Amino acid sequence: MGLFASIDVDVHLVRMGQDGQSTIVHRAAPGTCFAEASLFSGTYHCDAIAQGDGSVYRIDKGAVLLGLQSAEFAETYCQALALQVQQMRQIREVLAIRSAEERVFAGLAAGLLVGKVIDFAATISLTHEATYRALRKLVKQGRVENTRRGFYQLNTKRLPQ
């Protein structure tokens, strides 16, 4: 195995459940690494699925482990991993919100809508139908703006100062 880096394409790490349902367990944006756990595991139980045309590079496990002997590389790599942990904790907080409407709002506030709404829905563990309904309600309430088809943002004019 090794470490992988997405150069210019979103990559979803997908795991199949026993019920045959697939779950996106990680989204790697362009310019980020993924499958870090494979550095210390004989197998990796996910499929990496590129979300379009682009380049992904495999970095040899030995090269990464050798690089970790460099204090500068190790510190930079640890900073990247710490950022991922912070992002995952933020997503867990959003997932703890029971109301679909409030979960969608919190997901928008957290900056989790960075592509298609259907991917955003998967990130926050809602169906895309429930996500679109919640977005429509939030737009109607004036809490969210629909700037163009498929693009939503918080209505900053309505946020408390």
Residue 14: give the domain boundaries.
2-69
Model confidence at 26, pLDDT cuts 50, 70, 90, reads confident
Q: Which of 20-24, 82-86, 115-119, 133-137 has the lowest mean pLDDT?
A: 20-24
pLDDT in tens, 56-84: 999 999 999 999 999 999 999 999 999 98
Closest CA to 150 of 130, 136, 160: 136
For the cut 70, the answer to whether the pLDDT of residue 160 exceeds it is: no
In DSSP notation, 16-76 reads E-TTS-EEEEEEEPTT-EE-GGGGG-S----EEEESSS--EEEEEHHHHHHHTTSHHHHHH
Identify whether 77 is part of a domain.
no
CATH code for the domain in which residue 144 is found:
1.10.10.10
Q: Are residues 8 and 54 in the same domain?
A: yes
pLDDT for residue 139: 95
Report the mean per-residue pLDDT for the chain: 89
Please give the Cα distance from 51 to 66 (Å, whole number): 31
% the chain with pLDDT above 70: 98
pLDDT for residue 92: 92
pLDDT in tens, 124-155: 989 999 999 999 999 999 999 998 888 898 98
Please indicate whether residue 44 or residue 61 has the higher confidence score (pLDDT): 61
- pTM exceeds 0.85 for this model: no
Q: Are residues 65 and 105 in the same domain?
A: no
CATH code for the domain in which residue 50 is found:
2.60.120.10
